[in-house]
Amino acid sequence: MSMNTVLLAFGPKDEQRTDELLDTATSIVDPDGTVVLLHAFGRERYDEISTKLNIDDDSEITPDDVARRTRPVREMADRLDRVGVDYVVRGALGEASDTILRESKTEDADLVVVGGRSRSATGKALFGSTAQKVLFEADCPVTFVKEQSEATKKAAAPA
């Protein structure tokens, strides 16, 4: 199956797993394909970032512009540049799962990559509500990247 457009969706809870998300997206996307870096913002987080970036409420700055200026996006874009993978940056406001589903259609994504974590030790929920909704409702395949525990990260680190 051709993976020409891979939508890598992330938000503030994914900042610790950007390496895993990028590794997954770059290993799947076709050599001449594109990774869409989608930063999904809730209104409160968007306003917080806009304030830190001194963006006036009346400016014509778009969510895409705000996403490009965030540290996680800049770091991921730098890494994609280094490995020679084409990408575009998208920012979107709204509830994360709805935003991801909408953008996956808009971008005509062949695959969506989302992150998440186990919700409880008792296993009452395997995926977070955002990841779960995307997994069940996306029109394309979805790859779920589970957050690694600190023990797993230490075990995988070179000595």
Can you give the pLDDT of all 159 residues of the chain as single tens digits?
A: 779 999 999 887 777 788 899 999 999 999 999 999 999 888 888 888 888 877 777 778 888 988 998 888 999 999 999 999 999 999 998 888 999 999 999 999 999 999 876 555 444 445 558 888 999 999 999 999 987 655 444 445 555
Rounded distance, CA 73 to CA 139, Å? Answer: 25
Contact 85, 26 (CB under 8 A): yes
First to last CA, the chain: 37
DSSP 38: E
Contact 96, 137 (CB under 8 A): no
Nearest in space to 76 (alpha carbons), one of 87, 66, 60: 87
Residues 6 or more apart in contact with residue 109 via CB below 8 angstroms: 5, 6, 7, 36, 103, 140
Rounded distance, CA 109 to CA 8, Å? Answer: 10
Find residue 5's DSSP bridge partners: 34
Residues 6 or more apart in contact with residue 133 via CB below 8 angstroms: 97, 101
pLDDT of residue 85: 96
Residues 6 or more apart in contact with residue 52 via CB below 8 angstroms: none
| Average pLDDT value for the chain | 84
Alpha helices per DSSP H over the chain = 18-28, 43-52, 63-68, 71-83, 96-106, 129-137, 150-156
Find residue 113's DSSP bridge partners: 8, 143
Predicted TM-score (pTM) of the model is 0.83
